[in-house]
Amino acid sequence: MLAMRRAAVATGLLLAGLALGAESAQACNVPVFRYALERWPQAPYEVLIFHRGTLAPEAQQAVADLRARGRVDAQGAAINLLLADLDASPDAAVKNLWEASPGASLPWMIVRYPEYLGVTENIWAGPLSREAVAAIMDSPARRRIARDLIQGESAVFLLMESGNREKDEAAAQLLKTQLAELEKTLELPDVPSGQWDDPAYDDKGPPKMRLGFEMVRLSRTDPAEQVFVKMLIGPAPQRLQGGEPIVFPIFGRGRALCAIVGDQITADRIGEEAAFVVGPCSCIVKDQNPGVDMLMAVDWDAALDGQASAIPTVEPPPPAGLTAFVKQLFTSELSWSSAAVVRHTVVAVIIGLGIVTAAVLILRKKRPT
């Protein structure tokens, strides 16, 4: 499977698998995941804002949020931002995008895949607002994935749930079991003396060089993840749109490998993808390697330099209000342990109060009148 993927370039279907296009004249034994983390800059997504004249103060603040989160003016920017004033006669390509948005109200925002992919379908389109910017640039699952990669995981295997509990639990158990086994059986390639002399490589950290895998579960219906779900699926065949769980191995700076759908989720297939990620890098051009970068509002260089503030926090603050907070505790599908700990703590407190109340009532009945 890996050899076949290295032999030809895919036809352009977004996450059905981009293939290796050419043999490298010079190879190295740096693991693929480490080479990608340190040497492959994130491909910027295209964000266009259509307006007329001067933006209102609230819209200006939303644009400021976009610039800050997307590091527009920095090296390794997450987005390419274009403000298109329709009164200033934008070029034909930009004008065509606007005309393809019937019923749009200004200011209007469109988010598109990195230009080099050649994908014509928008990821998201809607009115410009600070809330929309926040949903486009960030989400709990993306923060979790980025945090794990920055802290040294070789890859994060994202399980996009189908909504069928039986299928989702079977896929999750298979992933969990197989990833644990692969951590024991796979080995990092031996790096020859002098290989790390290139200052772009750092085998001692951060993060510390190791082999490890994580699994993250993602609900298709989670309101906070709708942009990320669309970004992963893209203009894909109907088979990816629902009904089956999908696994996306993600490595480097948020690069997602090909989608593994339904009955393709097997121990052998998981092993092949994991072996590719931890295998020796061929040091070829990034875009000739399999995968598509996901939009993540992360300053990867700063995080790798050890700046704690650049490492994403995992959990968002709870919703305002006690009712919403309790609802989140009992309905959240987040997979990390701290949410589960809080949920179980609340359950224990409720049970404890129930026991105490029952004991008080019993004692009152036994007291003499």
Percentage of the residues of the chain whose pLDDT score is greater than 70:
70
CB-CB contact of 66 with 297 (8 Å):
no
> Once rounded to an integer, what is the mean pLDDT over residues 174-188?
97
- For 53-67, 146-160, 238-252, which range has the lowest pLDDT when averaged over its residues? 238-252
Range of the domain at 336: 322-366
Question: Of 122, 137, 152, which residue constitutes the final position of a domain?
Answer: 137
Domain boundary among 137, 167, 191: 137
- Tell whether 316 is covered by a domain: no
Question: In the predicted model, is pLDDT for residue 318 greater than 70?
Answer: no
**Chain centroid, CA 139 distance in Å:** 8
How far is 83 from 85, CA to CA, in rounded Å?
A: 6
Number of structural domains the chain divides into: 3
pLDDT of residue 7: 34
Q: What is the mean pLDDT of residues 67-93?
A: 93
Helices (H), the chain: 2-7, 32-39, 57-70, 92-99, 130-137, 140-150, 165-185, 226-233, 267-278, 300-304, 322-331, 337-366
Phi, psi of 108 (to 5 degrees): -120, 135
Q: Is residue 336 part of a domain?
A: yes
* Res 342 pLDDT > 60: no
- Is the CB of residue 170 less than 8 Å from the CB of residue 339? no
Tell me whether residue 327 is in a domain. yes
Instruction: Report in angstroms the alpha-carbon separations of 351 from 326, 332, 356.
Output: 15, 20, 9
Whether 230 and 357 map to the same domain: the answer is no
Q: Are 47 and 79 in contact (CB under 8 A)?
A: yes
Position 38 scores a pLDDT of 87
Q: What is the mean pLDDT of residues 9-13?
A: 33
User: Which tokens is 198 given?
Assistant: 């290139």
Bigger pLDDT: 14 or 138?
138
Q: Within this chain, do residues 239 and 359 fall inside the same structural domain, yes or no?
A: no
Identify whether residues 199 and 265 lie together within a single domain. Answer: yes
Interval 238-290: pLDDT, tens: 656 678 999 999 999 999 998 999 999 999 999 999 999 999 876 666 666 77
Task: Indicate if 146 and 23 belong to the same structural domain.
Answer: yes
Question: What's the mean pLDDT when you consider all of the chain?
Answer: 81
Give the per-residue pLDDT at 193. 66
Q: What is the pLDDT of residue 249?
A: 98
The Cβ-side half-sphere exposure at 295, using a 13 Å CA radius, reads: 32
205 and 306 both lie in a single domain: yes
CB-based contact 77:44 (threshold 8 Å):
yes
Q: How far is CA 294 from the centre of its chain?
A: 6
| Position 161 confidence tier, pLDDT thresholds 50, 70, 90 | very high
> Of 267, 288, 310, at which residue does a domain stop?
310
Q: Is residue 317 part of a domain?
A: no
Output the six-digit token pair for 2.
């890996």
Specify whether 27 is located in the same domain as 152.
yes
Q: What was the pLDDT predicted at 300?
A: 94
Same domain for 347 and 228: no
pLDDT beyond 90 at 306: no
Same domain, 68 and 7: no
| Residue 260 domain-assigned (yes or no) | yes
CATH number of the CATH domain containing 101: 3.40.30.10
Q: Does 329 have pLDDT greater than 80?
A: no
Answer yes or no: do 7 and 118 share one domain.
no
Per-residue burial over 276-304, b = 16 or more CB atoms within 10 Å of its CB, e = otherwise:
bbbbbbbebeeebbbbbbbbbbbbbbbbb
Q: Is residue 315 situated within a structural domain?
A: no
Whether 156 and 21 share a structural domain: yes
Q: Would the CA dihedral through 350, 169, 296, 92 be positive or negative?
A: negative
Does residue 194 sit in the same domain as residue 287?
Answer: yes
Q: Shortest CA distance to 168 belongs to which of 113, 219, 225, 240?
A: 219
- Residue 321 scores a pLDDT above 50: no
Is the pLDDT at 220 greater than 70, yes or no?
A: yes
Is 357 buried (19+), middle (13-18) or exposed (0-12) by CB count in 10 A? exposed
Q: Which residues contact 220 (CB under 8 A, 6 or more apart)?
A: 160, 161, 162, 163, 229, 242
Residue 334, pLDDT above cutoff 50: no
pLDDT tier at 24, thresholds 50, 70, 90 = very low
The tokens for 123 are 């990821």
Q: Does residue 363 carry a pLDDT above 80? A: no
Model confidence at 336, pLDDT cuts 50, 70, 90, reads very low
- Looking at the fold, whether 125 and 190 belong to one and the same domain comes out as no
Residue 340, pLDDT above cutoff 60:
no
pTM above 0.85, yes or no: no
> Does residue 240 form part of some domain?
yes
In a domain, 292, yes or no: yes
